[in-house]
A and B are shown apart, each in its own frame.
Chain A
């Protein structure tokens, strides 16, 4: 069996693993970015208690490697007599990492919003929550979009770490195929190609969006 035949014979299995990786990525982003937004608002808000709480969550989340976060969740939750599945632990760990990192991008975006439009919203008698919802957040997120897209690519790659807590994503599947067939190099080369098929167009898209957003202002 040459390499191409070998790849073909394992392709569906690998594709299933890629599906798990993508699922984890989407889950981490869908849950993590709103949390990142909340952390960013907490960091910009007036309450000192909320500020320090958010700061601690962000600094720990960014300071600890994603792998360590995954291990802490995986080995930590059972101490609280919870026995979540590996997938659930992976979602929790990756979501936390996503929230911590994206909060910084979003905070940067919110701080870039011109104070004039916020002041105008206040002068127009808009309540504080409306000012956040309709004026500050949409403008701030728009600024943060390119960095968030860049981060999405990174967290997609970071899903490979969940292999260490037994999630059957594409890296884990590659490893088990490798250990059954001893064709490690070939199967990891295929894994690399599969990651690149997602990340390279995603990078192009990010650049395009960045250029388009830059044009509008």
Chain B
């Protein structure tokens, strides 16, 4: 019990100026007998845009979902925004909420609250999670809607706007909690190319504002032009990692070359 308390919550682990905002060490995860993450380690610096690519089934989304513990890994360690988490132990509720407060997430299927207006979608979490007043939340929501170019949709319901617009609202909703890092789980995969571009435009702007981002994506242009850290995964492991430009022009592994030529010619 004492042991568990010591490891949960905000712990000073001696990092005076934390070099990494997200640090995963030896993350292991099974789905039944399927070994989906095989001791994955990953470090993301503050302000970095880390794109995670690879064939489907490689474990990219699972890895991303471990960062905010939507998936519970079997073992490993993690430090997110200064919060240390021993992944082999169950995390207490307070620490879990604290972790998630620091990390925003954007999903492939947008996942807006269908019974709430666009404005309420962005305001509700601010009020419940940050305790903002109704007026403060509304002001913040409107400011973010302006930023993602949807100020005129504040009163619309999610089912009445396009997928690209829904995804931009979802980004605004996550940003409203002022997270220290943002996770994007294939944010444009459900969108046709034109709508995908408007979402990528917003993501580019978010990146330019200095946000630390982990992005699971098939958008090679985004990974190359906006990203500054590229991770290639296959079969539950990171097989290649580094500068996007370099990996895309001169991949070290034959497998990476194969994958890149498949997606780029696609």
Closest B residue by C-beta to A118: B111
- Could you show 16 A-B contacts with beta carbons less than 8 Å apart? A116-B107, A116-B109, A117-B112, A119-B70, A120-B107, A120-B112, A123-B68, A123-B70, A123-B107, A124-B125, A124-B173, A127-B93, A127-B128, A216-B157, A217-B114, A217-B159
Q: In the bound complex, do residue B111 and residue A119 qualify as a contact, i.e. CB atoms below 8 Å apart?
A: yes
Report A-chain residues with C-beta under 8 Å of the C-beta of B159: 216-217
Considering the chains assembled together, what is the distance between the CA atoms of A126 and B93 in angstroms? 11
Closest B residue by C-beta to A124: B125
* Chain A positions 111-150 with a Cβ under 8 Å from a chain B Cβ: 114, 116-117, 119-128, 130, 134-135, 138-139, 142
A125-B112 contact given A120-B107, A216-B159, CB 8 Å threshold:
no
Closest B residue by C-beta to A130: B128
**Which of A117, A119, A123, A130 is in CB contact (< 8 Å) with B114?**
A117
Q: In the bound complex, do residue A124 and residue B114 qualify as a contact, i.e. CB atoms below 8 Å apart?
A: no
A127-B68 contact given A134-B124, A139-B114, CB 8 Å threshold:
no
Interface string of B104-142 (1 = CB under 8 A from A): 110101111111000000001100110000000000000
Report A-chain residues with C-beta under 8 Å of the C-beta of B170: 120
Interchain nearest-CB distance for B257 vs A (Å): 35
Interchain nearest-CB distance for B110 vs A (Å): 8
Considering the chains assembled together, what is the distance between the CA atoms of A120 and B107 in angstroms? 8
Report A-chain residues with C-beta under 8 Å of the C-beta of B43: none
Q: In the bound complex, do residue B114 and residue A127 qualify as a contact, i.e. CB atoms below 8 Å apart?
A: no
- Indicate the size class of the contact surface on chain B: 20 to 34
**Which of B97, B109, B124, B157 is in CB contact (< 8 Å) with A127?**
B97
**Which of A114, A126, A139 is in CB contact (< 8 Å) with B128?**
A126
Interface string of B149-178 (1 = CB under 8 A from A): 000000001010000000000100110010
Closest A residue by C-beta to B176: A124
Which of A116, A123, A128, A135 has its CB near the most chain B CB atoms (within 10 A)? A123
Considering the chains assembled together, what is the distance between the CA atoms of A126 and B128 in angstroms? 7
Q: In the bound complex, do residue A119 and residue B125 qualify as a contact, i.e. CB atoms below 8 Å apart?
A: no
Q: In the bound complex, do residue B70 and residue A122 qualify as a contact, i.e. CB atoms below 8 Å apart?
A: yes
* Chain B positions 89-103 with a Cβ under 8 Å from a chain A Cβ: 93, 97-98, 100-101, 103
Considering the chains assembled together, what is the distance between the CA atoms of A122 and B105 in angstroms? 10
Report B-chain residues with C-beta under 8 Å of the C-beta of A116: 107, 109-111
Interface string of A70-107 (1 = CB under 8 A from B): 00000000000000000000000000000000000000
Q: In the bound complex, do residue A120 and residue B68 qualify as a contact, i.e. CB atoms below 8 Å apart?
A: no
Q: In the bound complex, do residue B115 and residue A139 qualify as a contact, i.e. CB atoms below 8 Å apart?
A: yes
Report B-chain residues with C-beta under 8 Å of the C-beta of A126: 125, 128-129
Closest A residue by C-beta to B173: A124
Report B-chain residues with C-beta under 8 Å of the C-beta of A114: 111, 114
Q: In the bound complex, do residue B70 and residue A125 qualify as a contact, i.e. CB atoms below 8 Å apart?
A: no
Closest A residue by C-beta to B68: A123
The 9 closest A-B pairs by CB, nearest first: A120-B111, A125-B100, A116-B111, A123-B105, A124-B125, A125-B101, A130-B128, A125-B97, A125-B129
Report A-chain residues with C-beta under 8 Å of the C-beta of B157: 216
Q: In the bound complex, do residue A135 and residue B113 qualify as a contact, i.e. CB atoms below 8 Å apart?
A: yes
Closest A residue by C-beta to B100: A125
Interchain nearest-CB distance for A132 vs B (Å): 12
Interchain nearest-CB distance for A143 vs B (Å): 10
A134-B112 contact given A123-B100, A127-B97, A216-B157, CB 8 Å threshold:
no
